[in-house]
Amino acid sequence: MIVGLGNPGDKYKDTRHNTGFLVIEKLAAYHSIKIKEESRLYLSGKGKISGEDVMLAMPVTYMNRSGDGVRELMRYYRLLPSDLVLVYDDLDLEAGQIRIKTQGGSGGHNGCASVIAAIGTEDFIRIRVGIGRPEGRVDVVGYVLSKFPRAEVPLIETAVESAVDAVRMIVGNDIVAAMNKYN
């Protein structure tokens, strides 16, 4: 199950904090997976990537409660934490970079923290997509909820493509190659 984090609604579309949704949408488009509302907690769709059955999902409970939808999906489909790949934005990476981890804390990301709390473990794969940290004394909440400036759009598009490629490698059981390539 590949889960991208973000906030629902047009107000948040294409904002920094919705980078996880951008990755899921790109994966769905490339692999002809239809994403639809499955519950009040998430949108999801099933298909194949790298010859493997996958589920793509986007929690629609807002970032700070993302874990609710992830927990419901994992319970319903009887998935283990090792079946989860979580994709989300990261302030501490430069715009356009990605990093892959197999475990660890939330790094201060409220959506990841919600997932950890909801499923009771930090042991799952995560792909962090860099959105850069604002310069000076900029309000971080306002920054992550803002759209990318035109100059950063190519960097983010490249990062989304890299995250899509990393998902394909991970689903194809080659997480080491994905980490070597992108870390």
Taking only the tens place, the pLDDT of each residue in 65-74 is 999 999 999 9
CA–CA dist 17, 15 (Å, integer): 5
Residues 87-108: tens digit of each pLDDT: 999 999 999 999 999 999 999 9
Torsion from C-alpha of 31, 37, 43, 47, nearest 10 degrees: -30
Beta-bridge mates of residue 87:
4, 127
Q: Two tokens at 51?
A: 């010859």
pLDDT at 136 over 90: no
Catalytic: 17?
yes
The DSSP secondary structure of 17-56, one letter per residue, reads: GGHHHHHHHHHHHHTTPPPEEEETTEEEEEEEETTEEEEE
Q: Two tokens at 52?
A: 């493997």
**Residue from 3, 7, 15, 17 carrying the catalytic annotation:** 17
pLDDT at 62 over 90: yes
Residues 38-51: tens digit of each pLDDT: 889 999 999 999 99
CA–CA dist 39, 88 (Å, integer): 21
pLDDT at 156 over 90: yes
Size of the chain in residues: 183
Q: Report the predicted TM-score, pTM, of the whole model to 2 decimal places.
A: 0.96
Using the structure block, give the residue that is written with the tokens 């499923």.
119
